[in-house]
Amino acid sequence: MKVQDQSFVYSQQKAQLKQIAAGEKAGKTLPPSQVASSDTQNNKFDFTRMTMKELSQASKALYDEGVITLGQHASLSLHYTAAATGLNQGDGDVSSSALSQAENEKVDVIAMQKERLRDAKANGAPASQIAFSKELIHVLEAYQFGGAGKYHASA
């Protein structure tokens, strides 16, 4: 619970810093802030177009940086891990087609998570599962789109 609270506070602080940086104007007397110049460096991953393997690697990196929780990391990386280890197969053998798809097919992770949330709500999932899914979507959108109004992000 403490890690989730820290993750939420961290994402809120990042959003506020991006909003402050968006309001700054470069000029002779006011150089752009470090936040504004490092904004593009911080978003190393494009969650709107990545493979499951890339998602697994991105998830690990974001967990190591403290951006996402262990539960969120497990949820995001499970698909590739299952394909790579054969956990998604009844006999436990690795399916070459499933592994190839996980390593080569680009997907929109945020849209995929939103679809899972819609399915969970429609199937009467527990409130804790719905809250987890909403928080994961919020974290991914905050990372992807930031708080500077670059994109329209729906919650």
Domain-located, residue 117: yes
pLDDT above 70: residue 118: yes
Domain-located, residue 29: no
Q: Which domain holds residue 134?
A: 45-145
CB 147 within 8 A of CB 19: yes
Domain count across the chain? 1
Which one has a higher pLDDT value, 42 or 29? 42
Domain-located, residue 18: no
Instruction: Single out the residue of 78, 68, 88, 140 nearest to residue 109, CA to CA.
Output: 140
> In the prediction, which pLDDT does 144 show?
86
Domain-located, residue 26: no
Domain-located, residue 13: no
Percent of residues, the chain, with pLDDT higher than 90: 28
**String of b and e for 102-133 (b: at least 16 CB within 10 Å)?**
beeeebebbeebbebbeebeeeeeeeeeeebb
What is this structure's pTM? 0.62
Domain-located, residue 107: yes
How much is the average pLDDT of 3-9?
57
- The most confident of 23-32, 118-127, 140-149, by mean pLDDT: 118-127
Instruction: Single out the residue of 85, 93, 81 nearest to residue 57, CA to CA.
Output: 81
Domain-located, residue 21: no
In angstroms, the first-to-last Cα distance of the chain is 22
**What are the tens digits of pLDDT across the range 53-86?**
898 999 999 899 888 999 999 899 888 877 777 6
